[in-house]
């Protein structure tokens, strides 16, 4: 083997760069400073997103169509936190109809991107993030069955141009259905099975930077999410689940000017998830079909109801409220 020798004398010395002082890269002529706030860049550099209420007009959602990952044998349903095994054909048909209803009501629907870590409970997009007025808080699910689902929803949010403001760290666990909005400057968090104090502390710091007050309440033993005990359908009308909802939360709602009423029928809420609805806008909801007493009560208060079937989907222990990750509502603070 032979090696060529290099004649160092053949190299020319590097030419000196032009004097860079005073050029754009160093803050001189041509430099363009970034002066808008992050919030002002939403809808421009970032995708328009965010919520500051539970009842503002629904604009954009994230959902996941049931896939083969939900084909669970009967002896494994409890292992994956399902109530029963699903007929996937029926479940997909119900899900497709829900999408159709959203689109007919001018709601933009985005789908969770397929991923190699797809697990059965990714159907429940509402658990995997929570929106603020300026972007998303990424969840950190509390069970090993759902650990890591946040990674895949983060990828989808990033590709959609949704800013992720917070990734929870340490021992924090949090699911998006445990954060709800009382008004544009007040958020409430449920502390319980899915969301712990470490997460509440981290979220409180983040929201305080937006001048938002965070209030935390303990959830009863055996309760899954905060969303299961509180639903607000207008600026001054909320429904709660008696003997589940903390007294202090009801006091806060009343102090903020809400009329607080009990859910209309606990049997329908327990057996057919009548309380697991999605607010489409002021006094307008989609709710599980087959709940006549609940629907009649809401309609008596001037609430428009759109019933849709979820008989098959609810066997996975959730309905449209759990399946719908809200990316954007019309802001109430504008």
Q: What is the residue whose two structure tokens read 């109430």?
A: 332
Q: Give strand pairing partners of 306.
A: 286
Q: How far apart are CA 317 and CA 226, in angstroms?
A: 15
Q: What percent of the chain is predicted at pLDDT more than 70?
A: 90
CA distances from 146 to 60, 123, 325 (A): 24, 11, 16
Which one, of 127, 316, 290, 134, lies nearest residue 209 by Cα?
134
Model pLDDT for residues 228-284, shown as the tens digit of each residue: 999 999 999 999 999 999 999 999 999 999 999 999 999 999 999 999 999 999 999
Backbone CA torsion sign across 112, 306, 313, 246: positive
Count of H-run helices and E-run strands, the chain: 7, 15
Q: How far apart are CA 107 and CA 124, in angstroms?
A: 18
Instruction: Name the pairing type of β-strands 237-240 and 259-262.
Output: parallel
| Polymer length in residues for the chain | 334
Residue 118: band (very low, low, confident or very high) from pLDDT cuts 50, 70, 90? confident
Q: Where are the domains of the chain?
A: 46-329
Q: 3-state DSSP: the chain helix, strand, coil percent, rounded to 5?
A: 30, 25, 45
* Element containing residue 285 per DSSP (H, E): strand 284-288
Q: Is the pLDDT confidence value at 313 over 90?
A: no
What CATH code is assigned to 46-329? Answer: 3.75.10.10
pLDDT value, residue 259: 98
Which one, of 222, 229, 236, lies nearest residue 263 by Cα?
229
Q: Is the pLDDT confidence value at 3 over 60?
A: no
Which one, of 62, 110, 142, 76, lies nearest residue 316 by Cα?
76
pLDDT-wise least confident of 52-61, 282-291, 311-320: 311-320
pLDDT value, residue 67: 81
Model pLDDT for residues 161-202, shown as the tens digit of each residue: 999 999 999 999 999 999 999 999 999 999 999 999 999 999
The pTM for the full model equals: 0.90
**DSSP string computed for 189-243:** EEESSS--HHHHHHHHHHHHTTT-EEEEEEPPTT---GGGTEEEEETTEEEE-TT
**DSSP string computed for 135-195:** EEEEPB-SSTTTTTHHHHHHHHHHHHT--EEEE--TT--B-GGGEEEEETTEEEEEESSS-
């Amino acid at each position: 083997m032979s090696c060529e020798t290099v004649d160092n004398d053949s190299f020319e010395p590097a030419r000196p760069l032009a004097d860079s002082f005073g050029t754009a890269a160093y803050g001189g002529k041509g430099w363009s400073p970034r002066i808008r706030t992050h919030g002002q860049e939403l809808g421009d550099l970032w995708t328009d997103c965010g919520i500051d209420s539970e009842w503002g007009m629904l604009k954009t959602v994230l959902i996941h169509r049931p896939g083969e990952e939900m084909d669970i044998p009967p002896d494994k349903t409890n292992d994956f936190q399902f109530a029963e095994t699903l007929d996937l054909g029926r479940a997909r048909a119900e899900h497709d109809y829900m999408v159709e209803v959203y689109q007919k009501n001018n709601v933009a629907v985005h789908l969770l991107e397929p991923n190699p870590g797809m697990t059965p409970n990714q159907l429940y997009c509402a658990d995997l993030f929570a929106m603020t007025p300026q972007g998303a808080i990424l969840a950190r699910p509390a069970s090993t069955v759902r650990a890591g689902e946040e990674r895949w929803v983060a990828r989808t949010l990033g590709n959609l141009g949704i800013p992720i403001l917070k990734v929870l760290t340490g021992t924090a666990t949090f699911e998006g259905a445990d954060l709800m909005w009382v008004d544009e400057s007040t958020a409430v968090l449920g502390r319980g099975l899915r969301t712990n104090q470490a997460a509440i502390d981290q979220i409180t710091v983040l929201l305080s930077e937006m001048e938002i007050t965070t209030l935390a309440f303990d959830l009863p033993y055996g309760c899954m999410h905060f969303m299961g005990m509180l639903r607000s359908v207008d600026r001054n009308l909320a429904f709660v689940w008696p003997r589940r909802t903390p007294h202090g939360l009801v006091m806060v709602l009343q102090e903020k000017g809400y009329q607080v009423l009990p859910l209309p029928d606990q049997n329908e809420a327990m057996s057919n998830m009548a309380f697991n609805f999605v607010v489409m806008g002021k006094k307008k909801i989609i709710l599980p079909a087959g709940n006549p007493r609940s629907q009649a009560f809401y309609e008596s208060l001037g609430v428009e109801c759109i019933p849709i079937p979820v008989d098959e989907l609810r066997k996975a222990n959730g309905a449209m409220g759990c399946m719908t990750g809200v990316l954007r509502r019309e802001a109430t603070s504008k």
